[in-house]
Structure formats: C-alpha cells, structure tokens
Amino acid sequence: MALTPRMTYAAAAGEALAAAMRADPRVVAVGEDLGRGGVFGQYRTRAADGTMRPLQQEFGTARVIDTPISEANIMGAGVGMALAGLRPVIEMRVIDFALCGMDELVNQAAKNRYMFGGQGRVPLVARMPIGLWSASAAQHSQSLEAWFAHIPGLVVVCPATPQDNHGLLTAALVSGDPVVYLEHKELWGLEGHVDATAQVPLGRARIARDGHDLTLVTWSRTLHESLAAAEAVAAEGIEVEVIDLRTLWPWDRDAVLASCARTKRLLVAHEAVQVAGFGAEIAAAVAETVGCPVRRLGAPRIPVGYSPVLEAASRVDAEKIAACVRSWLRA
C-alpha cells in the first residue's frame, strides 16, 4: 500500500481548501495577504510541477479575494456572502485581530439561523489562529477559544495535526453553519502524513495515547506537550490516556466520560488562561456525571510577556504537565 504523503500543517489546510474550491464554485476565500498565499503560507497548493503556489493563481482574484486591513469589513462581507449562497473562508490572520470583527460574527453569523427560523444560514469558516506566538507578546499570543464556545450557533474547531487540519477543514467547509476554525500560530511548520481521503467528523475526539491511570484531555498545540509529558511519566510507571478533543463545540462528551470512568481521574490541560477556560466546562461535566476527581492546568491570568522569561511563565509545556501528573498520582 502506498504511503500517504507528508506535508506541513499549513500545506494540509491549503490542499483541503484547494480541493473544496475545485469541487464547489461557491467556496471563496476572503482576507489580507491571500494573493501571496497567506501570511503563514496556508493559502498555497502544490502545482503540477511540484512547487507551492498561491491559490489565487489557480482560482483568480474573484474567488481568492485580497482585502484592506479592516477585520469588521472582512467578517461583515463574509456574512453577507454566506447569506447570499456562497461558502466563504474568512481569514483573520490571528485571533487577536479578529476582535475587531466580533459583532458581525457573534451578533449576525451565530444568531441568523435561529432568529429567522432557519430561512437563512451562514455557512462560513472563520480562520483565526490561536496561541502563543514566540516573541510576539500580549496582543499576538492569545487563546480565546472559550469565548466562541460560549456563543450559541457557533461550531468551534481546534486542529492539532496536519491530518486533522486537512480533515477538519474539509468537514468545516460543508457543515452549513458558521465555524470558528482555530489553527495554532506555532504549528504551521509541523509535518505529518496526510490521507486526503480520510474523513474527520466534527465533534469526534481522538484517543492519541492509551492509558489507565489518568485521563488527560487537551487540544491544539498542547496535545504535543501532553504526549511528551505522557511519555516522560510512562518511564516512571504512570500510564496516561491522552485525548485530543479536536472540536470544542460540539465536544465529544461520550469519549471523555467513558475514559474518565475507566481511569477515575481527569486532568484538562490547555494553553488558554485557566480562569474560565474551556477546561472548566469539561471538568464540571465529568465531576457531575462520573464523579471522579478533576484538575485543570492552564496559563496564569496575565498578559503574555515579550521577554523569553515572561513568555515561558505563560506556556503550558510538557514539563509542567508531567509535574502536575506526578504530584497528583504520588500524593
């Protein structure tokens, strides 16, 4: 059997979008820097000669649309396009900039289907990269996924691997509802095998590592830190089951609850600020349903600092996760 090709996290998304645009003329992309392939190269596809080229070269300026620097305008245009029958992909560059377009997303896109009895739908995908971005400081390093999980009407997706960035973007593009699609700013260069035919449904978690001593639920870049932590404590006889949630809303309650019922412990780890983070929702649901002990590990409630020392204080890394596991199981 032929091996699946290796590609980066960014390239996987580009290939998924290119395939969707070839299959459906209603799919368009709107945002800044798209003509040159996106600021992270996530709007590029591999040409016949093997080179990576901007999607605009294949689909033209009417479907890959460069915009002025105005997030409210970009998001508002995307909502209008979706209501008019298109399937727009809205590029916000990073989630920190998306705050300027929140009204259009939260008060228009999320609520339209409900307020008008299903007469209108807003099938857009808003790409808003999350997470710490090295040496980029407080206004470029936020993880705000809990904000969007709180809003009825929005689907919230956090891919952690190249395979999932391909499969989940493909699923998001056909979902029919507004999807907040949260790639991580420091995963663009991550490489992995990608099966373009594999279906990755929204709302389905993945058990990334089997274990029986503790359930560790995570998503996005923190998955990789969690797996590294699990490997470290495995050498000490502690077997951690790592679940990559993949979709925050809807989240896979059944997979998480079943795992916690087996291991009798839950730790939720995420890069977002721990206070009122989405980990609290998971912890509460598990405590109420399974009744097992729960713990959370997130960033402190401080802005991300520019200096490496201050930035490190906000990172939830493998060392911190492993230390939390050890202190709990050896208490």
* Shared domain check, 230 and 179: no
What is the domain-level CATH number for residue 309?
A: 3.40.50.920
Same domain assignment for residues 187 and 317: no
Q: How far is CA 154 from the centre of its chain?
A: 13
pLDDT of residue 207: 98
Statement: residue 44 has pLDDT above 70:
yes
| Amino acid identity, position 75 | M
What pLDDT was estimated at residue 331? 64
**Higher confidence at residue 134 or residue 286?**
286
**Into how many domains does the chain fold?**
2
Q: Is the pLDDT of residue 2 over 60?
A: no
Same domain, 24 and 128: yes
Q: What pTM, to 2 d.p., does this model score?
A: 0.95
pLDDT value at residue 330: 81
CA angle at 262 for the pair 149 and 161, rounded to the nearest 5°: 45
Segment 290-298 shows an average pLDDT of: 97
CA 69 to mean position of chain CA atoms = 23
Amino acid at 99: L
Binned at pLDDT 50, 70 and 90, residue 49 comes out as confident
Supply the pLDDT for residue 244.
98
CA-to-CA distance for 105 and 78, rounded, in angstroms?
Answer: 9
For β-strands 87-91 and 125-127, DSSP reports them as: parallel
Q: Identify the three-state secondary structure at position 302.
A: coil
What integer is the mean pLDDT of 189-210?
97
One domain for residues 185 and 314: no
What's 90's domain CATH number? 3.40.50.970
Final residue of a domain: which of 167, 193, 219?
Answer: 193
Catalytic residue at 270? no
From CA 186, how far away is CA 153, in angstroms rounded?
28
Report the length, in residues, of the chain: 331
pLDDT higher than 80, residue 280: yes
Residue 210 counted as domain residue: yes
The string over 94-111, giving b where at least 16 C-beta atoms fall within 10 Å of a residue's C-beta and e elsewhere, is bbbbbebbeebbbebbbb
Chain-centroid distance, C-alpha 50: 28
- Give the model's pLDDT for residue 1: 38
What is the per-residue pLDDT for 95?
94
Q: Look up residue 158 and give its two tokens.
A: 């956090």
Write down the pLDDT at residue 111.
96
285 and 137 in a common domain: no
The CA angle 146-151-156, to the nearest 5 degrees, is 60
Query: Taking the CB of residue 9, how many other CB atoms lie within 10 A of it?
Result: 27
Domain encompassing residue 52: 6-193
Place of tokens 């016949």: 48
Q: Which two tokens stand for residue 28?
A: 């368009």
Question: What share of residues in the chain are helix, strand, coil (percent, to 5)?
Answer: 40, 20, 40
Task: Kindly compute the dihedral angle of the four CA atoms of residues 258, 262, 266, 268, in this order, to the nearest 10 degrees.
Answer: -50
Predicted local confidence at residue 56, as pLDDT? 97
Q: Tell me the per-residue pLDDT of 65-112, one tens digit each, with 9 for 90 and over.
A: 999 999 999 999 999 999 999 999 999 999 999 999 999 999 999 999
Give the pLDDT of residue 50: 82
Per-residue tokens: 296 = 């959370």
Average pLDDT of the residues in 17-42: 96
**pLDDT tens column, 226-263:** 999 999 999 999 999 999 999 999 999 999 999 999 99
Round to whole Å and give the CA distance between 328 and 331.
5
Q: Select which of 140, 166, 224, 270 is catalytic.
A: 140
Q: What is 57-100 written as a DSSP string? A: HHH-TTTEEE--S-HHHHHHHHHHHHHTT-EEEEE-SSHHHHGG
Q: Which of 293, 331, 296 is nearest to 316 (CA)?
A: 296
Do 231 and 300 belong together in one domain?
A: yes
